[in-house]
Structure 1
Amino acid sequence: MEKKKIPGLPHLQFHNLFCIGRNYVEHAKELNNEVPSQPLVFLKPTGSIIFDGDKIQIPHQSENVQHEVELAVAIDKTGKDIPKEEALEYVGGYGIGIDVTARDIQQKAKEKGHPWTVAKGFDTFAPLSTFVEKDLIEDPQNLHLQISVNNEGRQSDSTKLMIHTVADLIHYLSTIFTLQPGDIILTGTPKGVSAITTGDTIKASLSNGLATISVTVE
C-alpha cells in the first residue's frame, strides 16, 4: 500500500505515529491517573489517519468515544540519541491532531494492565490537519490548542503546560527508536476531554488558525 503524503509537507510520507499519554497534569488528574515521571508512549497505526473534511467512524465495540486535541510534530530527518538541545532541528513542521479514544475499552485495558492499542487504534481515530513549516512557529511551547464540538468549546489550553516539552519528547523517543522522516509525534492532550457521538462536527485549531481541522462523526 502506498504511504500517504503529509499535507503541507509533500516531501514527507507518513511513517510511524508516536503518541504521548498523560503529558498535561490536569488531564491526568481528570482521568484519575498518576502523572508519569517519564513520557508514556503508545502507537497508532497509520490506517487510523484521516484529514480535514473526513469522518470519524464510531466503532460498534465502544459506547464512549472521546476527543483529545494535541499538538502534532512531524519529523524531517533521521536521528538516534538526539541531544535535547538539538531536538527541534529534526522537526519539519507542526499541526493539530485529534487522538480519538474509545475510553471504555481503554479503561478495561488499564484495569487489566493491558496495552491501549485497541482503544486508540481504530480506523479514523487519528484526524490530522495540514502541517505548517517549522519556521512559522518560533516556540512550540507557546502555542494554543483548541477544540469544539458542535461549536461548543471543549478543550482550550497552552502547550506551555506540557510536562515533557517537544524537545524532551524527541530526545526521549530517539533513545529508544531511530526517528525517521515522516514520523509524527502526538504530544499529549490538556484537560477537557469528552464524548463525541454520531452527527457531531468537531473543529480543532492551533493558535488562532495557524493549522485547523474539521471532521464529522458517523
Structure 2
Amino acid sequence: MIDSLYEHQTINNEQLGLPVGKVVCIGRNYLDHIRELGNDVPEQALLFIKPATSLVALDKQLPLPVGLGACHNELEVALLIKSPITKGTPIVLSELIWGVGLGLDLTLRDLQSSLKAQGHPWERAKAFDKACPISSFIPLGQFEDVNNLDFTLAVNNQLRQQGCTANMMRSIESLLVEITTCFTLLPGDIVLTGTPAGVGVLNSGDKLALTLTNRYKFGCEFI
C-alpha cells in the first residue's frame, strides 16, 4: 500500500491533483559521481525505476533501513510529470512538466555492490519502501532554465553534495526522449535526473539541509 501520508505537494503545501506514480531514475549522469565510484561511463542513459511505494515526503523524520549495511545519500533534481509522454511526443517542457523539486535516491551501497558483482538487478538496494524522500514541487515557470539549476546537500551543517544541472551528461530534453523510448511517462510520475559526487553514509540522527537555486530550502532528519 502506498504511504497514505504521501501526496505530491506544491511549495505552498497545497496538494496537487496528480496521482502518485512511478519514479524513473537516471544513473551515472554526472561524471564526477561516475569517477568517485569507479564506474564506467555509459553509452546510453542508465535507467531504473523506483515504485510509488518508495515515495515519502522529505519534510518528515525519516527511518533508515536497519541491518542492511550502509545507506547512502544521492541528491537529485526531480521533475514532476503532468502530461503523458511516450515515444515520439514533442518535448516541450512547459507542456509536460508540472514542476521541479529535490529527491533523495537512498541507496543501500553494500547491498548494491554485492548485487552488481553477481550481475543481479539493483531493486533490493534502490526500490525499498521509503527509498525516495521527495520535496514539494515548484512550478516550472519559476525557473528560467532547468538545465542550469544549482543544488546542494548539507549533512549536520557540513556541505556534502553540490551540483548543477548544467553539468549533467544529458540535458532534461534528451533524458525525456531517451526514457520514453522504453517507458511511457504518465501524469504524476517523477523523473530523478542523476546525482553529482559526494555520496556518503547516512546515520540515525543526521540532519539534512537541501537547497535548490539557493532560493528553495528543504530539510529532514533520519531516525
Normalising by the residue count of structure 2, what TM-score does the alignment of the two structures yield?
0.91
Describe the superposition over 1:28-81 as per-residue Cα deviations: whole angstroms up to 9, x where unpaired.
110010111111111112222111332332222322111011000011101211
Worse-matched range after superposition: 173-182 or 145-154: 173-182
Report deviation, 1:107: 0.4
Pairing partner for 2:7 from 5, 25, 33: 5
Contact 2:80–2:188 (CA<8 Å) still a contact in 1? yes
Contact 1:199–1:217 (CA<8 Å) still a contact in 2? yes
Pairing partner for 2:220 from 211, 215, 218: 215
Report deviation, 1:136: 0.6
Paired positions, count: 217
Q: Which residue of 2 aligns with 1:116?
A: 122
Indicate yes or no: 2:77 matched with 1:71. yes
1:49-198 equivalence runs, <5 A: 49-82=55-88, 85-87=91-93, 89-198=95-204
State the SS of the aligned residue for 2:175. helix
Query: Runs of 5+ in structure 2 lacking a partner?
Result: none
Report deviation, 1:187: 0.5
What letter matches 1:11 in structure 2? G
State the SS of the aligned residue for 1:28. helix
What percentage of residue pairs aligned between the two structures are identical? 35
Cα RMSD, aligned residues only? 1.7
CA distance in 2, matches of 1:113, 1:188: 22
Q: 1:53 to 1:86 in 2, by over 3 A?
A: closer
Contact 1:128–1:213 (CA<8 Å) still a contact in 2? no
1:33-48 equivalence runs, <5 A: 33-48=39-54
CA distance in 1, matches of 2:132, 2:47: 15
Report deviation, 1:201: 0.7
Q: Which residue of 2 aligns with 1:200?
A: 206
Report deviation, 1:217: 1.1
Worse-matched range after superposition: 83-92 or 63-72: 83-92
Between Structure 1 and Structure 2, which shows a larger proportion of strand residues?
A: 1
Worse-matched range after superposition: 1-10 or 103-112: 1-10
State the SS of the aligned residue for 2:145. coil
Report deviation, 1:169: 1.1
Report deviation, 1:87: 4.9
Report deviation, 1:166: 1.1
State the SS of the aligned residue for 2:92. helix
Contact 1:88–1:167 (CA<8 Å) still a contact in 2? no
Normalising by the residue count of structure 1, what TM-score does the alignment of the two structures yield?
0.93
What letter matches 2:106 in structure 1? V
Contact 2:91–2:176 (CA<8 Å) still a contact in 1? no
